[in-house]
Amino acid sequence: MMKKPTFRPDLTDYLPYIEALTDKLNEESILKMSRTDAVKIAIELACKNVLPDVWVEKKRKLYRTLKM
């Protein structure tokens, strides 16, 4: 069985935006979200808006907020 190749895009140019998104998510989240989780959430939301017929299987930490 062949192993699926790992996809590692270079997002260095987008690092300030990714960090800002991560910081915003961590302000409200119960669990600490990583930069990878933030990018995955952004991709999921983009797919939901652009590709409404496509179902995205989430393979990341669950994002939950604590409402006070």
CA distance 34 to 47: 20
Domain count, the chain: 1
CB 66 within 8 A of CB 30: yes
**Would 20 be classed as within a structural domain?**
yes
CB 63 within 8 A of CB 41: yes
**Would 38 be classed as within a structural domain?**
yes
What would the pLDDT profile of 9-19 be if each residue is shown by its tens digit?
A: 999 999 999 99
**Would 2 be classed as within a structural domain?**
no
What would the pLDDT profile of 21-64 be if each residue is shown by its tens digit?
A: 999 999 888 888 899 989 998 998 999 999 989 888 887 877 77
**Would 37 be classed as within a structural domain?**
yes
**Would 56 be classed as within a structural domain?**
no
* pTM, 2 dp: 0.77
**Would 40 be classed as within a structural domain?**
yes
Q: Which domain holds residue 23?
A: 13-50
**Would 17 be classed as within a structural domain?**
yes
